[in-house]
Amino acid sequence: MHERHNALVMKQLYTLILTLILFTLSAQAQEVLLKEDFTNASQTNLTPAVSGNWTVTGGAIYTRSLSGNEAQVTTKLNVNGNFSKLDADIRIKWAGTRSANGGGSQSFNSPIYLCYQIGSNPVQKVPVDAAITVGTAVQNRVVIPLSNNYDNVKIYFETTLNKNYSYSIDDLEIVALPNMFKWSSRPDGEQPFVVAAPGTTSPYLLNDVPMYWSMTKGAGVTVEAATVNNTQFPRSGNSFSIVQTGASATEGTNVKIKFGELLTDVSFMLLDIDKTTATSQFTDKLVVTGINSAGNVVLASQSFVKNAAYAQFDAKSSTFTGVADVDNSLELGNVTVVFTEAVKEINISYYNLGADRGRQGIGFGNFNGYRTIGALPVELMFFRGAMQSGNAKLSWATAQEVNNDKFVVERSQDGKNYSAIGEVKGNGNSITRINYSFTDTNPAEGINYYRLRQIDFDGAEEMSNIVAVQYKGQQVFQGNLAKVYPTLATDEVNVKLALDAAQITVLDVSGRQVAQYSSTGRELTIPVSQLQRGVYLVKVSGNSQQQTLRFVKQ
């Protein structure tokens, strides 16, 4: 009784802590605009530009594989949602997988793009899913700058249809990231290096976190202006502009932005990165880096150039360079910088590659940044198990996590001796509920005992409670015809049947048959080592019934 009471008190304490944290961080709320896991084949969040080129199956949406002598063709998948008039940037996350559908020997290296278009402006294509390993899911994360209340915003995926190969999208999430610091909140003519200088008692605030600005100059460099205005780079609102002369490829103006605490998902826009083409007056070059909690330099994780014909980004050096002349009232030379790793400081070095070391200027747009949470424990809300169609389905959820590396799932037949049967990746840090699941596709006859071993990045461990799940052999089919295990296979797949006789057909995700078997027993082993990596379907037919299951060839 006392243990239950203490657990309740601890739960209430954690709830209070979470409530206080969420109240403190309410100003940094992120709005979910769209979330799709494709469990419903009739979903309407994504629509193919050409019907039939993308199909929802097996919990994801796939491109169609070409057949016969069909020529390669570009295909688009429109994202349906209202992304116009947002006073926020948006973050798009999804899992992308390149699958081999039972044939072909060439690598699937067709480019994948996330595209967006604002009004009649040129389409911006962001290369994603650079890994071309077939059968491996890639976690993609893209931030699109939409914080200027743009009209008529369109977002879509684009790739090429291939013979014997397909691309799939799963677990799509689009979140609005409201700007946390706007230059429109500051008066014209204000000088950030004075007003928000280190040591000031009234610095700028980014999500209630102090933001200090300082500057140093290289030899021979003159800073003519460093003020908040809407004249140097005319926009719908103010920006902060810096104008310098005398800079070279090695001497320039160095801007340091230091935060009062660690911030994650920091992003901001740089305006008018370009060059003069008629003369050698200037060629803008900016190196943008961050400093993490350990004091190490980190590069911008992602950066999006408004138009690559005017400004280019080198990811290896986190460097932006102007490549064409742009009128400063246009947005063609604008870039968005994103740090997905938490940073406590940002450094921008502004150089001139022009031989004349002439007059040049850039602007800073609005800033985003979100506070990281403190060192709270990983709180397990529940851990449950149940038998479903011959599989032991385990589920659990966390209320918050800090430095959570992974969960190791362990099983025992006697409740004393446990062995690991799988792992589930943790979420690292979180203050919101996160659901997890694991399926044991080969439980032992009788009672199976399960527990979780939660492991931090530093190796610290915590054990969960134990759940017991009883497996009663053939009784677990409960109307289903079969079960397939393992669902991630390398050499062979087992089909356990609830029928004495059945037809088993193996298909790729395009529906092409790759193998067929007749079974007169309750279990069949299918060799899959010769198959290409990717997702496959197993269709079981018998007694005027039919069921389709899925496995992944690794």
| HEC profile of 178-220 | ECCECHHHCCCCCCHHHHCCCCCCCCEEECCEEEEEEEEECCC
- Considering 74-83, 124-133, 389-398, 534-543, the range whose residues carry the highest mean pLDDT is 74-83
Cα separation, 117 vs 171, whole angstroms: 23
Q: What pLDDT is recorded for position 142?
A: 80
Whole-structure pTM value: 0.52
The 10s digit of each residue's pLDDT in 442-488 is: 887 778 889 999 998 878 888 888 888 887 754 445 557 788 888 88
DSSP state of 283: B
Of 53-57, 255-259, 327-331, 387-391, the one with minimum mean pLDDT is 327-331
The 10s digit of each residue's pLDDT in 336-364 is: 888 878 899 999 999 999 999 999 999 99
pLDDT above 90 covers what percent of the chain? 36
Q: What is the DSSP string of 465-523?
A: --EEEEE-GGGGGTT--EEEE-SEESSEEEEEESSSSEEEEEEETTS-EEEEEEESSSE
Q: What pLDDT is recorded for position 431?
A: 65
Per-residue pLDDT band for 19 (boundaries 50, 70, 90) equals: very low
Mean pLDDT along residues 25-31: 52
CA nearest to 136, candidates 160, 170, 174, 113: 170
Mean pLDDT along residues 150-165: 89
Q: What pLDDT is recorded for position 306?
A: 56
Selected residue with higher pLDDT from 393 and 8: 393
Q: What pLDDT is recorded for position 308?
A: 57
Of 15-24, 419-428, 502-511, 539-548, the one with minimum mean pLDDT is 15-24
Q: What pLDDT is recorded for position 108?
A: 67
pLDDT above 70 covers what percent of the chain? 86
Q: What pLDDT is recorded for position 360?
A: 96
Complete domains list, the chain, with CATH: 31-39+53-178 (2.60.120.260), 204-371 (2.60.120), 379-471 (2.60.40.10), 482-553 (2.60.40.1930)
Per-residue pLDDT band for 179 (boundaries 50, 70, 90) equals: low
Res. 257: pLDDT tops 90: yes
Q: What pLDDT is recorded for position 47?
A: 95
Per the CB < 8 A criterion, the answer to whether 99 and 512 are in contact is no
Per the CB < 8 A criterion, the answer to whether 269 and 366 are in contact is yes
Q: What pLDDT is recorded for position 190?
A: 97
- Considering 42-46, 112-116, 222-226, 443-447, the range whose residues carry the highest mean pLDDT is 222-226
Neighbours of 477 (CB within 10 A): 17
The burial class, CB within 10 Å (0-12 / 13-18 / 19+), for 104 is middle
Per the CB < 8 A criterion, the answer to whether 114 and 142 are in contact is yes
The 10s digit of each residue's pLDDT in 216-256 is: 999 999 999 999 998 887 665 789 999 999 999 999 999 99
Res. 6: pLDDT tops 50: no
Structure tokens at 390: 């011959």
How high does pLDDT run on average in the chain?
A: 83
Mean pLDDT along residues 308-322: 84
